Amino acid sequence: MNTPSQPSSSTAAQASTSASYQVSPQHLAELQSLLSVDRVLSDPASLNHYGRDWTKHYEIHPSAVAFPLSTDEVVAVVKWARKHQIGLVPSGGRTGLSGGACALQGEIVVSFEKMNQILNFDAVDRCVDVQAGVVTEQLQQFARDKGYLYPVDFAARGSSQIGGNIATNAGGVKVIRYGNTREWVTGLTVVTGMGEVLQLNSGLVKNATGLDFRHLFIGSEGILGFITEAKIRLTSPPQGTIVMLFAVPDLSSIMKIYQYFRDRLPLTAFEYFSDLALSHVVNHAHLQKPFATNSPHYVLVEIEKSNTDVEAMSLECFEHGVGESWILDGAMAQSESQARDFWRLREDISEATAPHTPFKNDVSVRISQVPEFLTRTDAALKQHYPDFEVVWFGHIGDGNMHINILKPKDLGRDEFLARCRGVNPVIFSIIQELGGSVSAEHGVGLVKKPDLAFTRSAAELQLMKQIKKVFDPDGIMNPGKVFD
């Protein structure tokens, strides 16, 4: 059992808001000569736009934003940064929730927005080569146009970028069928903190030649180097899917439904949201409630039509759940538009709660431990937040839950954050006891940095720091993220 070396101090997670990197006009002029004047921006609007991710709790202080067009230009930027000892922060779609793309101390933001080309497609290998700035939905559409599927999917598909997905090993809503981003990356081009270009694995299916550095960079959050290109594997699309929505009376019933359906049907998604989450989505999006009666819990199930018997078996499983009193009410989508409406009830939760400045936690435990975790954590939250709304939703099928604590209108931001951070040790102690993770799919960044020891041992943390030193001896690659 890992024991933190000190109590969680999330209030200390906020790095100094005073710029520690001194970037002079001469430095910027030199950087502009490496790229171009119009691809090194330092106006306030650009700094504010590119210097942060979806995390709203940090004061940002980038010095400039650089827009490389190629791996060679990224190399030039890194060597320039080494020469002047200036930190670099990678920026993709900036949809992260951990502060991993926030520039707080005068760093240069390296945006991959203009490195957005699909470079090559090989139908035999079922692989596509992409630059890091390709938007997830762009890749998904390219795969569909070729008759294939890129299956990693989540609500931010329209703005997230492949490089950022890889750097955080993005998961999403279909992990139980297709796995995380890691399973779909067959090769990487990366630029290390020394300005070296590494070609990692090159799309090979089998490669037993020692350490696979590709997997070090997947999920590394840019602290070892920057991903510039990737080889992505595609797969065959399903023949079709069935989408079902259930009203469920209690947490134990959710897991019984999951086990029963999983053992009999080819599940592609098994998503959970609470009645409070549903209420916010319905009010925000002006949707109708799916059922006449209210329920404390809801489950959305997606099933692949792998054969002609799946639909009948799905209905049989539903009837069994009703007979066992696991399911209070349910519906099967009768059209693509109705299936999209069902999915909106789950995927629009973040958008619906955003106006309430939620304090978010993204955690995971083993699937079998989800009911215990939810029960214990919900009791702790009610004890510490009796006046707060707590919105639960998540990917029950892979043990990943999202906790969203909503800020009351009459409470100041600083007081709200202090109260939320103060209870993190309570939540993370439960995670630690269950052998879970304080960050399931959004990375560590700044937000989870003080709490990493609840999941990782002191020995692991020390090894991480030593590995970073190998790839980034000057400490300029996304400095201050994951660990100090």
The pLDDT, as a whole number, for residue 1 is 41
DSSP letter assigned to residue 156: G
Are 125 and 175 within one domain?
Answer: yes
pLDDT tens figures, 360-400: 899 999 999 998 999 999 898 888 888 899 999 999 889 99
Q: State the CB neighbour count (10 A cutoff) for residue 462.
A: 12
pLDDT tens figures, 453-475: 999 999 999 999 999 999 999 99
For the four alpha carbons of 46, 50, 55 and 57, in that order, the dihedral sign comes to negative
pLDDT tens figures, 389-446: 999 999 988 999 999 999 999 999 889 989 988 888 989 999 999 999 999 998 999 9
The pLDDT, as a whole number, for residue 19 is 55
Q: What average pLDDT score do residues 260-281 get? A: 96
Residue type, 270: F
The pLDDT, as a whole number, for residue 25 is 96
- Give the 3-state secondary structure of residue 127: strand
Q: Is residue 451 part of a domain?
A: no
Percentage, residues of the chain above pLDDT 70: 96
Q: Is residue 84 part of a domain?
A: yes
Q: How many domains does the chain have?
A: 4
Q: Of 167, 200, 233, which closes a domain?
A: 233
Q: Of 308, 323, 350, which closes a domain?
A: 350
Are 81 and 156 within one domain?
Answer: no
Percentage, residues of the chain above pLDDT 90: 83
Are 226 and 122 within one domain?
Answer: yes
The pLDDT, as a whole number, for residue 235 is 97
The pLDDT, as a whole number, for residue 396 is 87
Residue 389 vs residue 17, higher pLDDT: 389
Q: What average pLDDT score do residues 170-188 get? A: 95
> Model's pTM, two decimal places?
0.90
Q: Is residue 452 part of a domain?
A: no
Q: Is residue 479 part of a domain?
A: no
Q: How would residue 97 be classed by pLDDT, with cut points 50, 70 and 90?
A: confident
What is the residue-averaged pLDDT of the chain?
93
| Distance from chain centroid for Cα 367 | 19
> Which domain range does residue 38 map to?
10-114+466-471
Contacting residues for 23 by C-beta, under 8 A, at least 6 apart: 63, 64, 84, 86, 106, 108
Are 229 and 191 within one domain?
Answer: yes
Q: How would residue 15 be classed by pLDDT, with cut points 50, 70 and 90?
A: very low
Per 3-state DSSP, what percentage of the chain is helix, strand, and coil (rounded to 5)?
40, 20, 40
